[in-house]
Structure 1
C-alpha cells in the first residue's frame, strides 16, 4: 500500500488539519462529550481564555481550543496542573474524538 503523507486528524466541520497521529500521547482520556485523545501538539487552532477547571484528575488551568477556520470548539489545552502527578499534561492538548476525523488513513 502506498503511503500518502502523514496520518492526520482534521476538524469534523471544515476538515482543517488539526493534529498528527504521531503526536498522540494517550487515547485514554475523557472529554466533555465522550472519549478524547491527548496530543503533544496541535495546529491551525486558536487558544481561548485560561480558566481553572475541576477535572476528573483534579484542578487544572485550561483554555478551550477551537478550529482556526470554522471556530468549532475541539477540546482544550492544559496550561497548568496543580497535582504533581498531572504535571506531564502541561502544554498538551485534548481533542475530543467526536470533533475530529481521520485523514490519509
Structure 2
C-alpha cells in the first residue's frame, strides 16, 4: 500500500507537469515510455525514450487527451496516465 501511494503521488505530479508544459503541448510524444521503479520502500516514475518526439505544425497544439484522428497529432499520453492513476487509485482503495 505504501508503494501504491508513492506511485500515485508520482503519477499525479507527472500529470500536472505535462499539463503545464509549454514544450509538451507543442510536441507529439510517440514511442515514449514511463520507467517505473520501486524497491519495496520507495517508488519513482520517469518519462523516457524521446527519440520519436516531434514538434506539431506551427499554430497547433495537442492536449494529449483527445482521440487520435489522422493529422491531429494527438498521442494519448495523458489519457494513458489518467488510466494508470485510476488503476493505482483502485488498488490503493482496495488495500486500505
TM-score (norm 1): 0.26
Greater share of strand: 1
Considering fraction of residues, name the structure with more helix. 2
Bigger radius of gyration among the two: 2
TM-score of the two chains, using structure 2 as the length reference: 0.27
